[in-house]
């Protein structure tokens, strides 16, 4: 079986796949000081809960935007006897990268672009809500050519109630009206309607400048569920987009 790993800024997501079929998911907090012993123990506990054993796995594919945890991930999986593959320069992806410096393109953007291109078709815009809000354009021929980065939904919300001492932590949901009558609903309006407007305007401007018909918009990311159903310009919502991209790239590179 394959263990697909997506190391994000805040969480490390693990996907369990058997012949491309998902058999389970779990996540752990991204701890930069965590040792391979600690990570090994946590992974084994999670697998035991899912009635699996680390010996059931042969390979691991890793996308990481946290360089500090890469060596820990590598040592952990090698001690388990797994063949380890990182999303890194030289790996086959099936897409082209166009950038002033392709090495600057994060592996999280690459795996999403691969999944969008192969599963939904291009041209496409991937809107991913995570620590940052990403807008990635994949051209009709599968070229990753443009990327926009904005602040993240949850990180912006946290800064609001962390930095302003009189503002409370609130549930992230869209109120029925943007016209607030109390502190909680005023914060919810500002956060939720603000990010709906941000996403809508950026996608509209991207489409205007790209000037192509039938550009699909795919919503994904760890915080995308807060806005699912609220973005009328989205064609597909796929919370598994990154994991699917990892599996597709693994299939292209396995020996």
Q: Give domain status of residue 255, yes or no.
A: no
- % of the chain residues with pLDDT over 70: 100
On whether residue 65 sits in a domain, the answer given is yes
Judge whether 254 lies within some domain.
no
**In this structure, are 106 and 49 located in the same domain?**
no
Do 5 and 12 form a contact (C-beta atoms < 8 A)? yes
CA 153 – CA 197 distance, rounded (Å): 12
Cα–Cα–Cα angle for 143, 148, 151, nearest 5°? 145
Q: Does residue 105 share a domain with residue 56?
A: no
pTM, rounded to two decimals: 0.93
83-86 and 59-64 beta bridge pairing? parallel
The structure tokens 């609001």 sit at 160
Give the chain's radius of gyration (CA, Å).
Answer: 19
Domain assignment present for residue 144? The answer is yes
Give a yes or no: residue 29 inside a domain. Answer: yes
| pLDDT at residue 203 in the model | 98
- Give the range among 72-86, 125-139, 161-175, 198-212 with minimum mean pLDDT: 161-175
The H or E element containing residue 200 is helix 194-210
Tokens of 67: 């360089």
d(CA 56, CA 136): 35
**Lowest-confidence segment of 93-102, 190-199, 207-216, 225-234 by average pLDDT:** 93-102
Q: Residue 173 domain-assigned? A: yes
Strands 2-7 and 236-237: unpaired
Tell me the pLDDT of the chain averaged across its residues.
94
Q: Do residues 232 and 109 both lie within one domain?
A: yes
- At residue 254 the predicted structure's pLDDT band, cuts being 50, 70 and 90, is confident
pLDDT score, position 255: 67
Task: Looking at the structure, tell me whether residues 109 and 222 fall in a common domain.
Answer: yes
Does residue 41 lie within any of the structural domains?
yes
86, 118, 149 — which closes off a domain? 86
Same domain, 154 and 56: no
Bridge-based pairing state of the strands 143-151 and 96-97: parallel
Report the CATH number at residue 177. Answer: 3.30.420.40
Same domain? For 60 and 169 the reply is no
C-alpha 220/C-alpha 228 separation (Å) is 9
How does pLDDT run across 155-174, given as a tens digit for each residue?
A: 999 999 988 888 999 999 99
Angle 149-249-151 from CA coordinates, rounded to 5°: 15
Same domain, yes or no, for 219 and 161?
yes
Q: Span 223-232, mean pLDDT?
A: 94
Quote the CA–CA distance of 137 and 160 in Å, as a whole number.
Answer: 30
Domain hosting 181: range is 96-246
- Active-site entry in 37, 100, 108, 163: 108
Tell me which of 24, 56, 86 is where a domain ends: 86
**Residue 25 forms part of a structural domain:** yes
pLDDT tens for residues 30-70?
888 889 999 999 999 999 999 999 999 999 999 999 888 99
Q: Is 232 a catalytic residue?
A: no
195 and 133 Cβ atoms separated by less than 8 Å:
yes
User: Could you give the CA distance from residue 213 to residue 157 in angstroms, rounded to a whole number?
Assistant: 35
Report the DSSP beta bridge partners of residue 86: 62
- CA–CA distance, 238 with 220 (Å, rounded to integer): 5
Residues 69 and 106 placed together within one structural domain of the fold: no
Does 125 lie in the same domain as 64? no
- The pLDDT assigned to 142 comes to 94
Residues 116 and 74 in one domain: no
Residues 112 and 221 in one domain: yes
Both 51 and 141 in one domain: the answer is no
Pair 150, 135: CB distance under 8 Å = yes
* Number of domains the chain contains: 2
Kindly report, residue by residue over 85-138, the tens digit of the pLDDT: 999 988 999 999 998 888 889 999 999 999 999 999 999 999 999 999 999 999
Of 86, 120, 143, which marks where a domain is finished? 86
Q: Is the pLDDT of residue 11 over 80?
A: yes
């Amino acid at each position: 079986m394959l263990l697909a790993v997506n190391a994000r800024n805040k969480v490390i997501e693990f996907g369990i796949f058997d012949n491309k079929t998902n058999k389970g998911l779990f996540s752990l907090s991204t701890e930069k000081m965590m040792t391979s012993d600690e990570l090994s123990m946590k992974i084994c506990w999670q697998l035991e809960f899912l009635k699996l054993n680390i010996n059931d796995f042969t390979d691991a594919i890793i996308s990481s935007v946290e360089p500090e945890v890469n060596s820990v991930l590598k040592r952990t999986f090698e001690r388990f006897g797994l063949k380890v593959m990182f999303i890194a320069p030289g790996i086959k992806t099936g897409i082209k990268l166009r950038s002033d410096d392709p090495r600057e393109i994060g592996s999280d953007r690459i795996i999403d672009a691969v999944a969008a291109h192969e599963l939904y078709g291009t041209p496409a815009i991937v809107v991913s809500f995570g620590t940052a809000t990403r807008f990635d354009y994949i051209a009709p021929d599968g070229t990753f050519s443009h990327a926009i980065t904005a602040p993240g939904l949850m990180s912006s919300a946290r800064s609001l109630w962390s930095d302003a001492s009189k503002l409370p932590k609130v549930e992230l949901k869209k109120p029925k009206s943007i016209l607030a009558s109390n502190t909680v609903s005023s914060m919810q309006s500002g956060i939720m309607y603000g990010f709906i407007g941000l996403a809508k305007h950026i996608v509209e401007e991207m489409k205007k400048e790209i000037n192509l018909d039938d550009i699909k918009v795919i919503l994904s990311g760890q915080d995308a569920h807060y806005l699912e159903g609220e973005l009328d310009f989205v064609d597909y919502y796929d919370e598994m987009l990154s994991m699917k991209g990892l599996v597709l790239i693994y299939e292209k590179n396995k020996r």
